[in-house]
Structure 1
Amino acid sequence: MQRIKLVKPFPSWFVKRTAVTLHSTSSQQPLLKTRPSDQPAFKIHTAPQRAQARCIHNTSRVMAPIPISDIPTLADLYFSQTLHPSHDTLPNATSKYNAQISLIRTDITTLATDAIVNAANDSLLGGGGVDGAIHRAAGPNLLRDCRRLNGCDTGFAKITDAHRLPCKKVIHAVGPIYDSASARRAGGHEKLLASCYTRSLDLADGSGCRSIAFSALSTGVYGYPSGEAAETAMKAVKGWLEEDEGRAGRMERVVFCSFLEKDERAYERLIPRFFPPASAEKAGEDVKATEGASSDEQSSAAEKEDGDVPVLPDVPTKEPTEDLQPDGQPEAKKAKREEGTETKESL
């Protein structure tokens, strides 16, 4: 047991209404701290408590911001063979946006995109997981801004400044709790989750943002399966880009950012179905064109090809013969020789 040494407070003529806090230390050197006398006069902190206090007050390790140029696009990931073509590509799949869409697994608070999307709760006052990490990294002013927003309904999103984050804006999207009664009343959790993505894109575009990074909305404590959430996210983003080519051109980069491996694996498995590599898309179009041709078109094409081939003579059924003249020479050869003789005489 460690011994605790009691030390008399500072002289009363220096400090009024003081009390002493004693800390247990291995060196037996007490640490004195003055506090108002209406609070507990003695409080002994053990070593584990002091370590916990240091963890609470110590800021998290600061990571270098990741610029947009360092975030790989789908085209980059196909080139490096991080992503592979899918065998069940969707009929409406496109590679048109492969240079605009990115996938990365990292801490979203390090991304230097114009906007990041926070997986917020309906109070917008912070929570656990990604939500808590964003609030801690942004600092107390983010919470101050969120208090002014008076919460947010499920399926909607609101935007604030990013403060200490390397991005410019934070969009707080409230995803649905998977298969909850409230989600069913609102038309289904898929509809609400898709709305989070499209409304976040609308807010980013309306605020002049040219790049946006999405966290894996609702896949944490809200229980949304990673595969279903990733599929809904890609449907929503793809539909938003295709709906208006003008705003699709303004949004230079859409990043799917995952922190957990399960979310990353879901994106890697499903992205090639929606956004295949350009070579795979071209091959698929050729196959569809062949399969879509009618039987009449195929037969006419075959006939046309047959018409280009020279017609061969029939197979002979008897030995070839030529009419012979009395001198034993074929008639054709004899006529040709006589014609040549006449030509020489004329010369």
Structure 2
Amino acid sequence: MAISPPVSRPLWLFLGLGLLGVGLAWLTFFHPQTQIQGDSQAPNLDSGDSQPQVPAIVQESGRRVEPDALQHDGFLKLEGTLVVPRWTELQGATVSLQPQPGNPAPKRDLHLGREVNFQFLKVPAGNWILEATAVGCKDFRGLYTFKDDGSRHHLLVPFELDAYIRGRVVDSSGLPLEGLEVAALRIVEDKTLAITPRTAICGSDGLFSIRNISQGPYRVIPGGTRYPAGEEKEVQLAGQEAWVDFILPAAGSALVQVLARTDQKPLSGLTVTARRVRAPTSKQTQFGHTSSVRTDKEGKALIPYLPPGEYSFSAFGSRWRRRVERASVRSGIQTQLVIQVGTIKANPRQ
């Protein structure tokens, strides 16, 4: 009986490669549109489901509007983005667009919260002031001129982390001095520079917080730079916050109401000034002998800190004659008085 010789390995290899080629040809012929897909496949831009996600935009109505829903009606559109440091979470953001002098358009406000994109529709051409605020950031203010070319304008609003000078002001008995102004004045080497002080008002607990400042040395003055109520202190703001406390001598306060003499209506916006004309003792104190505030909507002006003594209280305005009244101020007591003023009559010769 004849025995066939064994098939060599190269022959089996050729047979296997031939079968694989036949299989690939069959797949290509019967399934010409089959493609290998993976996780890195680019999205189909013609498909609505595959469009890349774009953050929503906050409009003046306060609602979140998707970009596809915006109508291109031919008016000037102003878009913007709030830019904050990466490690900062945006909170309580607001944006306001107000006209510069000569622009009759009204002011417009947006409350964004944590949204970073905003949009104003139908913005008239002209000069505008854009202001933006956010919790923990310095206020932003920019001047812009927009042309009536029908195009969109996109603004980047950069926020910087805010720094604070905080503290508390009380009198010698420990009572908080509510309503007292505290000023921070930057210390510079060039004495010819005019430095604008940053101010804050003490709350009911005597606490104050001066913000929108940069790091560096400051003079902190209770009562403000114009009418200091005590010794100033120097503070070095090296980080995000510096703390300073003040204890002032015991004093009183005054609540002055200004009324029109003819109809007894309260007058707002008038200036009330208190000047001490005599101290209770022969020893004169150096601070807090003069203070000035404006009346509110009820015609009232609160002067929170007045050292004891005899004072002259005057009230005046652009159309109102100056009127002066005398009153005494005692420690721990609020002096109350009413000042009635008359109008300034026009000069018939003019």
Greater share of residues in helix: 1
TM-score, normalized by length of structure 1?
0.22
Highest RCO, 1 vs 2 (Cα 8 Å, sep ≥ 6): 1
TM-score, normalized by length of structure 2?
0.22
Greater share of residues in strand: 2
Q: Point out the structure with max Rg over C-alpha.
A: 1
